[in-house]
A and B are shown apart, each in its own frame.
Chain A
Amino acid sequence: MTVEDQIRKNKRDTAFVCIFMLILLFAVIFVFGFALGFPPIFSMAIGLPLSVIYVLASYSFSVQSVLSAAKARPADPRRREEKLFMYKVEEMAIAAGLPVPKAYVQDSSDINAFATGKKPEDAVICVTTGALQKLNAEELEGVMGHEMSHILDRDILLATVTVGVVGAIALISEILLRSLLWGGGRGRGRNEGGGWLIIIAIAFAIFAPLFSRLAYLFISRRREYLADANGAYLTRNPEGLARALEKIKADLPDDPKGSPTVAPLYIANPFKRSLRNSVWSTHPPIDERIRRLRAM
């Protein structure tokens, strides 16, 4: 499979997941309205534009909201470390044949990095100050290659949009569940035989957030391996990224910073060392990633 085929496949996946998320969001709003006793047409009239607007809004404001959640600032070329980081971003952009992303820095002693943006033209790569201090040039290059291939493969759009939609589905389901359990008398009183509908609504409220999250995580984990491989192809040096991942693994964050919302975007989950594989991990286990890189 060439890089072009891969990009096309990823774009298709992204569109598929966006539509899936849209339908799920719509369904949650619909069931919510239904359980509260609104007529289906009314829920549909509210739910459809609301979910479309929400997905469009997470699309338009995604970059700014991710950057402010991470408390990132533009890299300062007057500091040598940050200037060298900007240089690396530019070099990797040339290797990938992409426009140069904006370079951002997050003040944190952890070693981490993420890429965000809607398309390669407005992409941002952000690293922590810890990464700039603790990684050498070769390792930083490996990390930049990984982030650049997230941009090249159009993973950033999917990640940024779903981070928003998954959050919304969780929030709406939570409200639905609470109102069904404590304030749901209205629906029951109105319709004597509709008990099973309430059960479906409750089940839906429980499972919708799980489904949306699992669907996203499944794809996100696969994309991490892909970004590792493509990143190593860009730098022609898998060892650099492998060593960077080793340092990340050894550098256990004792005081994790940043927002959990942004966690799936990072090169490695900042909240725990992903040593074991689990359906709930945003990233594959680090040891397995290092093993695959060394086997290239």
Chain B
Amino acid sequence: MIGIIILAVILVLLVISFVAYYYNKIIRLENRIDNSWAQIDVQLKRRADLIPNLVESVKGYMEHEKGVLENVTKARSALMNAGTPRDNIKANNQLTSALKTLFAVAENYPTLKANENFLQLQDELTHTEDKISYARQHYNDSVLAFNNAIETFPGRTFARRMGKKEKQMLEIPEEARETPKVSF
């Protein structure tokens, strides 16, 4: 009799820990996605904050490149006003290519390239850009882990009960995926 009771208790405990494990796993993976989106958001804001300083330090040197600067400013305000994640990413891609043009044009201005302030801003903007692409990569990794967890058995059964659906990955623009070519 006692043997049966002990067996039943062990079985119940096993089932409870099994359910708790998968429940917690799904919640944890979902929170990780939210958290990694927050990380992207932080970096996008940081980048938008750096732009006015950059424009300020470049303006004096680039009298004849008004269009380049305007594109940067325009892309920045689009980023500030973006509401949905999708708009956010789109505006950010615009800003990336506008900045790329600006830094390419800056190569023609030796005095600007020697400016300490400009160099620091350039380093920091490149850094922020890298952080954004790594944050996106981590977001996609998190989505992949979550989707795998809720689409495979036995997570699938729990996810249905919990009303969880698979999430969408962010599309990474073509040029961001390329790694810089290095020559020796």
Task: Judge whether B145 is part of the interface by a CB distance below 8 angstroms.
Answer: yes
What count of chain B residues pass the 8 Å CB interface test?
20
What count of chain A residues pass the 8 Å CB interface test?
22
B179 & A91 in contact (Cβ 8 Å cutoff): no
Q: Which chain B residues (157-184) contact chain A, with CB distance < 8 Å?
A: 179-180, 182
Task: Judge whether A3 is part of the interface by a CB distance below 8 angstroms.
Answer: yes
A138 & B134 in contact (Cβ 8 Å cutoff): no
Closest chain B CB from A85 CB (angstroms): 11
One of A2, A91, A240 near B134 (C-beta < 8 A)? A91
Stretch at the interface among B84-92, B106-114, B123-131: B123-131
Task: Judge whether B135 is part of the interface by a CB distance below 8 angstroms.
Answer: yes
Task: Judge whether B96 is part of the interface by a CB distance below 8 angstroms.
Answer: no
Task: Judge whether A248 is part of the interface by a CB distance below 8 angstroms.
Answer: no
Task: Judge whether A143 is part of the interface by a CB distance below 8 angstroms.
Answer: no
Task: Judge whether A95 is part of the interface by a CB distance below 8 angstroms.
Answer: yes
One of B32, B138, B148, B182 near A95 (C-beta < 8 A)? B138
**For the complex, what is the distance from the CA of A239 to the CA of B181, rounded to whole Å?**
11
* Neighbouring B residues of A237 by C-beta, 8 Å: 179
Contact with B along A218-254 (1 / 0, CB 8 A): 0000000000000000001101100100000000000
A94 & B182 in contact (Cβ 8 Å cutoff): no
Contact with B along A133-145 (1 / 0, CB 8 A): 0001110000000
A91 & B182 in contact (Cβ 8 Å cutoff): no
**For the complex, what is the distance from the CA of A237 to the CA of B127, rounded to whole Å?**
17
B123 & A97 in contact (Cβ 8 Å cutoff): no
**For the complex, what is the distance from the CA of A239 to the CA of B179, rounded to whole Å?**
10
Task: Judge whether B137 is part of the interface by a CB distance below 8 angstroms.
Answer: yes
B138 & A90 in contact (Cβ 8 Å cutoff): no
Task: Judge whether B39 is part of the interface by a CB distance below 8 angstroms.
Answer: yes
Q: Select from chain A the residue with minimum beta-carbon distance to B28.
A: A4
**For the complex, what is the distance from the CA of A90 to the CA of B141, rounded to whole Å?**
18
* Neighbouring B residues of A178 by C-beta, 8 Å: none
A90-B131 CB under 8 A given contacts A96-B138, A97-B138, A236-B179: yes
One of A2, A92, A239 near B145 (C-beta < 8 A)? A2
**For the complex, what is the distance from the CA of A90 to the CA of B127, rounded to whole Å?**
9
**For the complex, what is the distance from the CA of A246 to the CA of B148, rounded to whole Å?**
36
One of A4, A80, A84, A136 near B182 (C-beta < 8 A)? A136
* Neighbouring B residues of A80 by C-beta, 8 Å: 123
A87 & B127 in contact (Cβ 8 Å cutoff): yes
**For the complex, what is the distance from the CA of A4 to the CA of B141, rounded to whole Å?**
12
Task: Judge whether A83 is part of the interface by a CB distance below 8 angstroms.
Answer: yes
**For the complex, what is the distance from the CA of A236 to the CA of B178, rounded to whole Å?**
10
Q: What are 24 A-B interface contacts by the 8 Å CB criterion?
A: A3-B141, A4-B145, A83-B123, A84-B123, A87-B127, A90-B131, A91-B127, A91-B134, A92-B134, A94-B39, A94-B43, A94-B134, A94-B138, A95-B137, A95-B138, A97-B32, A97-B35, A137-B180, A138-B179, A138-B180, A138-B182, A236-B137, A237-B179, A243-B182
Residues of A in contact with B (beta carbons under 8 Å apart): 2-4, 80, 83-84, 87, 90-92, 94-97, 136-138, 236-237, 239-240, 243
New A-B pairs, 14, CB < 8 Å, besides A3-B145, A97-B141, A239-B179: A2-B145, A2-B148, A3-B141, A4-B145, A94-B39, A94-B43, A94-B135, A95-B134, A95-B137, A97-B39, A97-B138, A138-B179, A138-B180, A236-B179
